[in-house]
Amino acid sequence: MLKLQGIIPPMITPLTDQDRLDLASLESLLEYMIDGGIHGVFLLGTTGEAPSLTHELRKQLIDAATKIIAGRIPVLVGISDTSFTETIQLAKTAEKYPVDAFVLTHPYYFPSYGPQFRQYVDHVLDAVSLPVILYNMPENTKVKFDLDLVRYALDRDGIIGMKDSSGDLDFFWRSCELAAASGKEFPILMGPEHLLGTSIRLGGSGGVSGGANLWPSLFVRMFEAAKGNDLAKMRDLQKKIDLLGKIYRVAENGGRVFRGLKCALKYRALCSGITAQPFTEPDPAEQKRIFQIVDELNPVKL
């Protein structure tokens, strides 16, 4: 059975053009992250700019990435679309490749509340053949999960875990407590990477940390330090994670995380800085500031 533990980066999608995959960078980035010790990879998430990509390109990415990974680590794939039927079609496409689980958010144009989303998830589960991780992403979907949804997820076959990007540590902790009380293996993964260490202390299973595209071993070490309850080491690593996080505060006008990450990865020759529309690369002054932060992060260790 799939083991979701540790650092599972939401991979940025390397592009040579908004409709063309950068296959060379895809390979080098994946090898770099696997070398860095990551425990899995999440394709086509928010950091992967999935909603900005054509369905065709998403398919190419799954195809190419799974070939490169070749079973070395678990592969999660985001399948969310605003249309139920397009979501199922994405899933059907992804099922043809060696993918381990799907990641599903609430559809992101219309918010819904109460039982409707649960029924929606039921219908998705009935239509797909891989296990599903629910993804709580209120900033982009407008819908914040509540503990009733966690209870539902714990009871429902086919749902094997949750990724929580709400930033609400009380919700995160209570979800972990519910999972622990259920006796079920039900990993809960932290989205925002600056909360990774704290989340592990509160019962979390790992992190979907965007910064692990740039410095995978940093997050792997934080995960291990937190599992070992090594507070002194955690403090030291937190400083580096916070410094890395400054990259996300440089680029103005939206899309800061992946625009910042791609810019930093460009500086490290791991991919181009190209993002899909409506985003553009950070401007020259912003790029320079991002490069400085990467330098400050100590490129040898990186």
Write the single-letter amino acid at 49.
E
Q: Are 192 and 25 in contact (CB under 8 A)?
A: no
Q: Are 208 and 24 in contact (CB under 8 A)?
A: no
In angstroms, what is the minimal distance from the CB of 280 to a second copy? 6
Residues numbered 221 to 260 that lie near a second copy (CB under 8 A) are 235, 238, 252-255
Q: Which of 3, 96, 123, 249 binds a second copy (CB under 8 A)?
A: 123
In angstroms, what is the minimal distance from the CB of 191 to a second copy? 13
- Give the residue with the Cβ less far from a second copy, 49 or 164: 49
**What is the per-residue binding string for a second copy in 26-55, x denoting contact by CB under 8 A?**
--------------------x--x-xxxxx
Q: Which of 24, 72, 109, 288 binds a second copy (CB under 8 A)?
A: 109
What's the CA gap between 106 and 140, in Å, rounded? 9
Kindly give, in sequence order, each residue whose CB lies less than 8 Å from that of residue 274, ignoring residues fewer than 6 positions away.
15, 16, 17, 18, 22, 262, 281
Q: Does 59 bind a second copy (CB under 8 A)?
A: no
Q: Are 247 and 73 in contact (CB under 8 A)?
A: no
Pairing verdict, β 20-21 and 15-17? antiparallel
Q: Does 129 bind a second copy (CB under 8 A)?
A: no
**What is the per-residue binding string for a second copy in 269-288, x denoting contact by CB under 8 A?**
-------xxxxx--------
Q: Does 298 bind a second copy (CB under 8 A)?
A: no
Count of residues that bind a second copy according to CB under 8 A: 51
Range in contact with a second copy (rule: CB under 8 A) among 21-29, 111-119, 208-216, 286-294: 111-119
* Long-range pairs of 128-131 with CB within 8 A, sequence gap ≥ 24: 128/79, 128/88, 128/91, 128/92, 128/95, 128/102, 129/95, 130/91, 130/94, 130/95, 130/99, 130/100, 130/101, 130/102, 131/2, 131/100, 131/101, 131/102, 131/158, 131/159, 131/160
Residues numbered 183 to 222 that lie near a second copy (CB under 8 A) are 194-195, 198, 201-202
Task: List contacts with a second copy (CB under 8 A).
Answer: 18-19, 46, 49, 51-55, 82-86, 106-117, 119-120, 123, 140, 167, 169-170, 173, 177, 194-195, 198, 201-202, 235, 238, 252-255, 276-280
